[in-house]
Amino acid sequence: MNTTRHTLAPLSAALTALILWGCEPAEETQPAPEASGNAAASGVEYSDPDNPGTASTPDSHWQCPQDAGQAPSGTLTAERIPGSATTQEEAGLYEGPVWIGGSLYFSDFTFQEGFPSRVQRLTAEGTLETALEDSGSNGLAVDAEGFLMAATHDAKAISRYELSTGDREIVWDEYADSPFNSPNDLTLTRDGAIYFTDPDFQRSAAPGGQPKTRVYRIDSDGVSVVDDTLSNPNGVSLSPDEQTLYVAGGGEQGVLRAYSLDADGQVTGQRDLAEVTVPDGMAIDCLGNIYVTEHTKQRVRVFSPEGESLAEIRVDANITNAAFGGPERQTLYLTGAGTLWQIELDVAGYPY
Per the annotation, binding residues for a divalent metal cation are 95, 234, 280
Question: Strand 194-198 relative to strand 174-175: parallel, antiparallel, unpaired?
Answer: unpaired
Q: Are 240 and 280 in contact (CB under 8 A)?
A: no
C-beta atoms surrounding 208 within 10 Å: 12
Q: Does residue 14 sit in helix, strand or coil?
A: helix
Amino acid at 231: S
Annotated binding-site residues for substrate read 184
Q: Are 192 and 210 in contact (CB under 8 A)?
A: no
Q: What helix, strand, coil percent values describe the chain, rounded to 5?
A: 5, 45, 50
Of 95, 145, 152, 106, which is closest to residue 129 (Cα–Cα)? 106
| 160 Cβ contact partners less than 8 Å away, ≥ 6 residues apart | 6, 143, 147, 148, 149, 150, 168, 169, 170, 171
Question: Strand 214-219 relative to strand 222-227: parallel, antiparallel, unpaired?
Answer: antiparallel
Sign of CA dihedral 173, 176, 182, 186: negative
Annotated binding-site residues read 95, 184, 234, 280
For the sheet with 309-314, list strands across it: 74-77, 309-314, 299-303, 290-294, 279-284
From 200, 280, 316, 346, active-site residue: 280
Q: Are 134 and 205 in contact (CB under 8 A)?
A: no
- Active-site residue, 219 included: no
Of 60, 18, 12, 68, which is closest to residue 37 (Cα–Cα)? 60
Question: Strand 46-47 relative to strand 178-179: parallel, antiparallel, unpaired?
Answer: unpaired
> What is the set of active-site residues?
280
